[in-house]
A and B are shown apart, each in its own frame.
Chain A
Amino acid sequence: MTYLPNIIFAIILISGIGFFTKNVKKLRRNILLGHDVDVSDNKSQRWKNMAKIALGQTKMVRRPISGFLHVIVYIGFIIINIEVLEIVIDGLIGTHRIGLKLLPTSIYGFLIGSFEVLAVLVLVAVIIFWLRRNVLKIARFWKNEMKGWPKSDADIILYFEIVLMGLFLVMNATDSSFQAMQSGNVISQFIAPWFSGLSEASLHLVERSAWWIHIIGILVFLNYLYFSKHLHILLAFPNTYYGGLKPQGQFNNLEAVTNEVKMMMDPNIDPFAAAPEGAEDEVPAKFGASDVQDLNWVQLLSAYTCTECGRCTSDCPANQTGKKLSPRKIMMDTRDRLEEVGKNIDHNKGEFKDDGKQLLGDYITNEELWACTSCNACVEACPVSINPLSIITEMRRYLVMEKSDAPTELNNMMTNIENNGAPWPYNQMDRLNWKNE
């Protein structure tokens, strides 16, 4: 019987981690539904970007208030998790505060003391976050795409963090042996008096409850990640590693088009010649993207990485002037459609069955795509190197090259380029006339 708590703990821990692992595998499978893309170049630069942007939060702090608060929550999250290590060991082998057996009291006290201070800072930051969303109603949190689940999701995450931090402090405050040590209880000593009326047994019960709910809460939160926008705490790292390295103005080159153009331009080629063996495989099924499987896996990784902060949308000139386009919605739609495709695959024994839907039209409309000025403000704004513009471009490519579905004025512009080498109907032979005007 004495081992019962250890066994229960192990079962909870294993199922918590196991369930999460299962979902991570699903996540990986979904991301790899995207096209392959070569991102094996410039490894050192990529590591640097990850260190700077994800670890160092350099782009977060470009907006000083939310950036500063985020840094607090981020540091708190990482450091307080050291405490989780102790909880796990205690839970598994049935010790109480094993850290005290391994470390001198002063060092242990210093560690727990820092965790307590951070827990309070995180609490304050998270409460300010909640106020910014719900009381100040900062515009980017109240755009159309944030209605319903995305709004609740954001609040749920904040409540999770408030409860977890609260439990950590209560757990320490009601631990009478820890309080008696007089080391490390920098914050919890002020919470302890709240429980002074309780008997030793009740105090112990509160402490144990806080301890158990805290660790279970952490495991629930871990598993909540997959169902929420909060995956960025993990995916920000790979996403900043794989993020763009080229100048933002450089749009990718479509290799398949290059091959066709070269054939068209080569006077020696016989247009009626039979295609060489295997050549058909080189021509892609379609140009551009109408669904998530047409995007590359880094774009799909980015869709899962997006935490819906809306910095992209608030910097987007189209969105600022009331157009339907919201770069954040592009990412959210991509993720939601990818989830839908993933579930479809789950239900159909590992194979995708056409569901009559696609990213284009059912999620993202032509109107949104044609509102983009390709100014790169969204790319610049993203704190975790997401590039919504690349998805917009791929979808425009599909509209233009597969569907010939561009706005009439753009078709006129393109016809002009084709015929006169300029977007306007002027003769190429007149190009130097300005010299004599």
Chain B
Amino acid sequence: MSESLKVPTMAEFMAQGKQPEVLFWVGCAGSFDDRAKKITKAFVKLLNKANVEFAVLGTEESCTGDPAKRAGNEFLFQMQAVTNIEVLNAYEVKKIVTACPHCFNTIKNEYPELGGKYEVMHHTQFLKTLLDEGRLTIEGGKYKGKRITFHDPCYLGRANSVYEAPRELIVKLEAELIEMKNCKRNGLCCGAGGAQMFKDAEPGNKEVNIERTEQALEIKPEIVAAGCPFCNTMMTDGMKAKEKEDIEVMDIAELIANAQDL
């Protein structure tokens, strides 16, 4: 199946003297994390299906600096940012899509002041646009009628007020969209943000991801949909800890791709 994936790089586009429609910013999780790589591939399949002329930076991509900035290391963040901006500007990138809300937030909000001004979209927003433009069709397939809840990633939701695009996509799957006690602007963090992903939690009486998983379990979903590779990991771990591995934690791109057997 992998041979069917078309993943051109910016360098290849440049060599042909062409510009892609959009740059797909894969992100570190999407590039290296085994679970997140599946999300990356699912999204690429959808891009291929919709005949989107996209490109990736490939080996020229580097961490946006988000975890460094949240941890307080402004130096490291800006070093990363300036390096990435140089690459992006050299390729004259105008539009970026990413499946990681942290990359999304950083490039969209924090790069402009350092000279990187782009139109940045989260992959759920981009997929929604493809749908609206008739370039992508979404079928319910095996998700028809399933109880699906959406876990709002903090850096997509509260941080950038994107609540509807992911939900509209779930509705298009003809699934039953159900909401947790804390959703949208009141969404509860998965516990990974602010560089917590890379450290043990401070002493307490519970892990944040367990708290959030319990909120999800309260409404008895069949699937927990996520829009962030880190949330995905945290919620998957939560379901494991609760021995509820029958409840799948899936990225919205994966749901759409799977529904069409891509």
Contact = CB atoms under 8 A, between A and B. Distances in A.
A and B are partners in one complex rather than unrelated chains:
yes
Interface of A: 246-251, 253-254, 257-258, 260-262, 264-265, 287-288, 315, 317-318, 320-325, 367, 370-377, 379-380, 393, 395-401, 406-407, 409-410, 412-414, 417-418, 421-424, 426, 428-437
Contact of A436 (B2, B67, B75): B2
Contacts of A417: 63, 65, 67-68, 76, 80
Interface string B191-226: 111111111111111111011100000000000000
A435 B2 contact: yes
A375 B194 contact: yes
B14 to A, nearest CB: 16
Nearest to B212: A317
A335 B191 CA distance: 28
B186 interface: yes
Given A321-B211, A422-B32, 19 more contacts: A261-B75, A264-B79, A265-B82, A315-B186, A318-B204, A373-B154, A375-B154, A375-B158, A376-B159, A379-B158, A401-B75, A410-B199, A413-B71, A413-B198, A414-B67, A421-B63, A430-B59, A432-B58, A434-B31
A51 B80 CA distance: 40
Contacts of B33: 424
Contacts of A435: 2, 5, 7
B143 interface: no
Nearest to A324: B202
28 contacts: A247-B159, A247-B160, A249-B154, A249-B159, A253-B110, A258-B113, A261-B79, A265-B83, A320-B208, A323-B203, A323-B204, A324-B202, A370-B199, A375-B193, A380-B158, A380-B185, A400-B72, A401-B74, A401-B75, A409-B199, A413-B199, A417-B68, A422-B31, A423-B63, A423-B198, A430-B31, A432-B31, A433-B31
Contacts of A376: 154, 158-159
A322 B206 CA distance: 7
B194 A373 contact: yes
A422 B62 contact: yes
Contacts of B110: 250-251, 253
B144 interface: no
A237 to B, nearest CB: 23
Interface in B2-43: 2, 5, 7, 9, 26, 28, 30-33, 37, 40-41
B255 interface: no
A407 B155 CA distance: 23
Interface centre among A322, A367, A435 (most CB of B within 10 A): A435
A249 B155 contact: yes
Given A261-B75, A321-B207, A434-B41, A377 B193 contact: no
A418 B188 CA distance: 31
A317 B58 contact: no
Nearest to A433: B31
A317 B75 contact: no
Interface centre among B65, B74, B79 (most CB of A within 10 A): B74
B189 to A, nearest CB: 4
A401 B212 CA distance: 33
Given A257-B78, A435-B5, A426 B32 contact: yes
Contacts of A434: 26, 30-31, 37, 40-41
The 6 closest A-B pairs by CB, nearest first: A249-B159, A396-B72, A374-B194, A421-B62, A322-B205, A322-B204
Nearest to A393: B72
Interface of B: 2, 5, 7, 9, 26, 28, 30-33, 37, 40-41, 56, 58-59, 61-63, 65, 67-76, 78-80, 82-83, 105, 108-110, 113-114, 154-155, 158-161, 185-186, 188-189, 191-208, 210-212
B82 A400 contact: no
B57 to A, nearest CB: 8
B196 A424 contact: no
B78 A250 contact: no
Given A367-B202, A373-B196, A424-B32, A253 B113 contact: yes
Contact of B2 (A317, A424, A437): A437
A413 B41 CA distance: 25
A2 B59 CA distance: 92
A262 B82 contact: yes
B28 A261 contact: no
Contacts of A323: 201-204
Contact of A261 (B26, B78, B160, B204): B78
Contacts of B32: 422, 424, 426, 430-431
A247 B2 contact: no
Contacts of B208: 317-318, 320-321, 373
Given A249-B155, A321-B204, A380-B186, A254 B105 contact: no
A423 B2 CA distance: 26
A413 B67 CA distance: 8
B72 A321 contact: no
B71 A431 contact: no
Contact of B59 (A318, A371, A406, A428): A428
Nearest to B161: A247
Contacts of A251: 69-70, 110
Contacts of B78: 254, 257-258, 261
A391 B98 CA distance: 29
Best-buried of A371, A397, A414, A418 by chain B (most CB within 10 Å)? A414
A410 B63 contact: no
A254 B188 CA distance: 29
Contacts of A372: 194
Interface centre among B2, B72, B158, B160 (most CB of A within 10 A): B72
Given A262-B82, A373-B154, A317 B186 contact: no
A317 B211 contact: yes
A258 B114 contact: yes
Contact of A317 (B7, B65, B191): B191
B158 A428 contact: no
A27 B192 CA distance: 38
Nearest to B154: A375
Contacts of B2: 435-437
A380 B201 CA distance: 23
B158 A423 contact: no
Contact of A374 (B70, B113, B114): B70
